[in-house]
Structure 1
Amino acid sequence: MDPVTGSVAPRKILIACIGNIFFGDDGFGVEVARQLMIRRYPSHVQVVDFGIRGMDLAYTLLEDFDELVLVDTVSWGRPPGTLYLIEPDLELIAQAGERGVFLDAHSLDPVKILSFARSLGAAPIHTSLVGCEPESLGSEEDEISVGLSPTVQAMIPAAIAMLDKLVAELSFAKKVEVTSKGAT
């Protein structure tokens, strides 16, 4: 709170969009980032297209953010294009750190990245995930499949609306204390 004006400073938010554009709908987060970067967000909101650069995300989390919003595909077996707003289990992140973290330079596992960031000294951070159920992640393991399916592409505006609402809610939300055991 500003002692002179009495106004509350907005919480610093990182919207981290992740995915691989060469595996079909796995590029969902990257496309959301592309469209978000065309728009103007307030200075307390930073949008970054991390793609598959997990190390970059881990080191960025060493900065002083209050909230992390991940944007990625989520395969839970529901109809393609289903959007999710998830608060990941922070206990899983703590457990991953206890077991040791092995990173793959060609993919990005959010739990591993958050655990790795903690091992570097990043403070636990309140995390939300905006995800979309993919229709296709490429036809074969080694085959490149550029571009989103029409079903997932059609959900980009709804995902952006979900992010706008989330940013509005998080910007002036009460600080959530986060420990390795979860939010309190």
Structure 2
Amino acid sequence: MDFWTRMEGRGPDAVVVDGVSVGPGSRVRLRPRSSRADIFDLALDGRVAVVEAVEQDEDGTPHLAVTLEDDPGRDLGEARLPGHRFFYAPEEVEPLAADPGAERPVRVLVAGIGNIFLGDDGFGVEVVRRLDQVEVPAGVDVVDFGIRGMDLAYALQRDYAAVLFVDAAPRGEAPGTLTLLEPRLSDEGGVPVETHGMDPVQVLRLARELGRVPPRVLVLCCEPTSVLRGTPDEDVVVELSPPVRAAAGEAARMVVSVVADLIAEGGGPGPDEHPGEYPGERSVRR
């Protein structure tokens, strides 16, 4: 097996340390080996951390990617930024029981996606902008991903129980129609990587190849008045059409309601774990 084939392989879902299965979400105490300790290891020795992922190097050796439990910048570590994310061998951690006095909060990601220079395609971005002006439930991250598909795929590796995409999508309805969908991924593989593209299905497949997709995936889509493809003969359009702009406010209210329901339900898997098109959907018409 060559180097690149080994690098493409996913790490194990968990490793066994002292008879305990350790994987994403596990609490551990850091016990670095003194023979390889650097200044960070000396500073972090004995600290409690949370495992974010089990990864492997080119030799297939597993490593635990962890963030400190009490790090105020823990979200930066979850975003794979240096200085807040650390790697330890399985034998360098001590498994800890879950804190009985603190339940792990349910986290939900609201991802606004679309290109603001293609007219109604910027619907998701506009909804996120409006959500900045309202209070959303605790545990909900609202992010404008625009066309940054790779960033979204990496964000889905965090411990989100659910993700709600907000996007414009033609479905043959009247312009401005809002539809809440619960898609299922097919088993197709081979995802082309587009660092500046945003096809939600491809992003979900890429996220699955990287390691995980949240248990619950929802899409709130709006019927556009027209669909622009960004071809050279098209003009740049930076405004939403009147029906789609009118739907953005209703969509923001719907997002708040949907994420509140998701948190109350604990995220949780959808009604059907098997691949399919759209096993359930409901429409909200203006």
> TM-score, normalization: structure 1?
0.85
The Cα shift of 1:103 comes to 3.0
- Tell me the residue number matched to 2:123: 28
Greater Rg by CA? 2
Report the secondary structure of 1:147's partner residue.
coil
Q: Residues 73 and 133 of structure 1 are in contact (CA less than 8 Å); yes or no, is this contact kept in structure 2?
A: yes
Please tell me whether residue 161 in structure 1 is matched to residue 257 in structure 2: no
Cα distance in 1 between the residues matched to 2:269 and 2:211? 17
Higher mean C-alpha deviation, range 149-158 or range 169-178: 169-178
- Equivalent AA in structure 2 for residue 15 of structure 1: V
Question: Could you say if the C-alpha distance between residues 147 and 109 of structure 1 is closer, same or farther in structure 2, counting changes exceeding 3 Å?
Answer: same
Question: Could you say if the C-alpha distance between residues 116 and 164 of structure 1 is closer, same or farther in structure 2, counting changes exceeding 3 Å?
Answer: same
Q: Residues 9 and 172 of structure 1 are in contact (CA less than 8 Å); yes or no, is this contact kept in structure 2?
A: no
Q: Which of 227, 231, 240 pairs up with 1:141?
A: 231
Cα distance in 2 between the residues matched to 1:175 and 1:136? 34
- Tell me the residue number matched to 1:118: 208
Please report the RMSD computed on the Cα atoms of aligned residues, expressed in angstroms. Answer: 2.6
Please tell me whether residue 85 in structure 1 is matched to residue 183 in structure 2: no
Cα distance in 1 between the residues matched to 2:173 and 2:159? 35
> TM-score, normalization: structure 2?
0.56
State the number of aligned residues: 176
Question: Could you say if the C-alpha distance between residues 175 and 52 of structure 1 is closer, same or farther in structure 2, counting changes exceeding 3 Å?
Answer: closer
Higher mean C-alpha deviation, range 104-113 or range 27-36: 104-113
Where is the strand percentage greater, Structure 1 or Structure 2?
2
- Tell me the residue number matched to 2:162: 67
Please tell me whether residue 128 in structure 1 is matched to residue 221 in structure 2: no
Report the secondary structure of 2:132's partner residue.
helix
The Cα shift of 1:51 comes to 0.3
- Tell me the residue number matched to 2:42: none
Please tell me whether residue 172 in structure 1 is matched to residue 267 in structure 2: no
Higher mean C-alpha deviation, range 108-117 or range 138-147: 138-147
The Cα shift of 1:181 comes to 2.6
The Cα shift of 1:148 comes to 0.3
Q: Residues 62 and 117 of structure 1 are in contact (CA less than 8 Å); yes or no, is this contact kept in structure 2?
A: yes
The Cα shift of 1:88 comes to 0.7
Question: Could you say if the C-alpha distance between residues 118 and 171 of structure 1 is closer, same or farther in structure 2, counting changes exceeding 3 Å?
Answer: same
Give unmatched runs, 5+ long, in structure 1.
none
Report the secondary structure of 1:38's partner residue.
coil
The Cα shift of 1:89 comes to 1.7
Q: Residues 10 and 172 of structure 1 are in contact (CA less than 8 Å); yes or no, is this contact kept in structure 2?
A: no
Q: Residue deviations 1:81-124, cap 9 Å, x none?
A: 0100000123x2xx23x2x0013344211111011011111245
- Equivalent AA in structure 1 for residue 206 of structure 2: F
Higher mean C-alpha deviation, range 42-51 or range 131-140: 131-140
Please tell me whether residue 103 in structure 1 is matched to residue 196 in structure 2: no
Please tell me whether residue 48 in structure 1 is matched to residue 129 in structure 2: no
Q: Residues 123 and 168 of structure 2 are in contact (CA less than 8 Å); yes or no, is this contact kept in structure 1?
A: yes
